[in-house]
Amino acid sequence: MRKAKAMMVLVLTLTLLTAVTATAGPVLDRIVQKGELVVGTSGNQPPLTVKTKEGKIIGVDADLSRMMAAAMGVELKFEVMPFAELLPALEAGKIDMILSGMTITPERNMRVAFAGPYYITGKGILTKSHTVASFQDSTQINKPDFIIVALKGSTSQMFVQNLIPKAKLITTETLDEAIDILIKDKAHALVADYPTCAVAAFRHSGKGLAVGKARFTFEPLGIALSENDLLLVNLVQNILGMLKGTGDLDKLMERWFEDASWMKQLP
């Protein structure tokens, strides 16, 4: 059965790649010609994308990127940059796709195409106050004397601006900066994807961090791609479909969300 499943994936992949070679679009043609898939990522959103002590990119998005490159029969190259710079880099053709915990939103989808979603998450809150962690909705922190930190250019920033407008907002280039601000009591709370909040609390155990009990939003994560290459979008969506169909995507999520052993590799 396992051999049959592997053979099915191989046949489907070869069929897709045959079509790619014959009618590749501009971005896909670049990937095929160079023999290299360039993926943009922040490298700072565990367990989706994060750097190890040695500087290697690991996580859900990293493994998914490797699967994409393998299915296309090309090498993989990561371009690490601040989250806010990812969409401009894709639009400028500096990277071929974005895999960095990026939520599919109408605003972003008007600029680029998306394949997915490959994971559903939601906004969470990280704080040093267990009282705040027990809050069930954002209205309880929507006040002028409450300071919130969030990643610049993220849906977390938009969430605070739109639903917690009275609070004071601080934005940072990286989540590590945001967490440091919270630990040093320069902010009352950090808003980020719920898994990111949970990982941060685990990594910085002993710092008094508490994760909120509620998820405030519905956030489908997708792979951002150029709107100028529909064949690439179709190919990536089909590869995702195969990974879901074979159960490999579920195994990937289990590895990174249910087994904390990977955290030993972090700085």
Burial letters for 75-96: b for 16+ Cβ neighbours within 10 Å, e otherwise? ebebbbbebebbbeebeeeebb
Domain finish residue from 166, 183, 211: 211
Give the global pTM.
0.84
Sign of the torsion angle spanned by Cα atoms 210, 145, 186, 219: positive
Report how many domains make up the chain. Answer: 2
Same domain, 103 and 232: yes
**Peptide linkage before 26 cis (omega within 30 of 0):** no
Residue 19's pLDDT is 47
Burial letters for 104-118: b for 16+ Cβ neighbours within 10 Å, e otherwise? beeebeeebbbbbeb
Residue 13's pLDDT is 54
Same domain, 151 and 113: no
Residue 130's pLDDT is 76
Same domain, 149 and 201: yes
pLDDT at 3 over 60: no
Residue 195: give the domain boundaries.
Answer: 123-211
Same domain, 87 and 104: yes
CATH number at residue 129: 3.40.190.10
Same domain, 115 and 87: yes
- pLDDT digit string (tens) for 157-200? 999 999 999 999 999 999 999 999 999 999 999 999 999 998 99
Same domain, 105 and 143: no
Same domain, 10 and 114: yes
pLDDT at 214 over 90: no
Domain finish residue from 171, 190, 211: 211
Residue 186's pLDDT is 96
pLDDT band at 21 (very low <50, low <70, confident <90, very high): very low
Mean pLDDT of 56-60: 97
Residue 141's pLDDT is 86
Same domain, 224 and 205: no
Can you tell me the distance from the alpha carbon of 46 to that of 200, in angstroms, rounded to the nearest whole number?
8
pLDDT at 64 over 90: yes
Can you tell me the distance from the alpha carbon of 99 to that of 40, in angstroms, rounded to the nearest whole number?
6
DSSP letter string, 55-75: S-EESHHHHHHHHHHHHHT-E
Same domain, 183 and 258: no
Domain finish residue from 211, 239, 255: 211
Ranges 53-57, 118-122, 201-205: which has the least confidence: 201-205
Same domain, 115 and 127: no
Residue 10's pLDDT is 47
- pLDDT digit string (tens) for 252-263? 999 999 888 999
pLDDT band at 120 (very low <50, low <70, confident <90, very high): very high
Same domain, 67 and 7: yes
Ranges of H-type helices in the chain: 2-23, 26-34, 60-72, 86-91, 106-109, 130-133, 155-163, 175-183, 194-203, 230-246, 248-258
Same domain, 6 and 115: yes
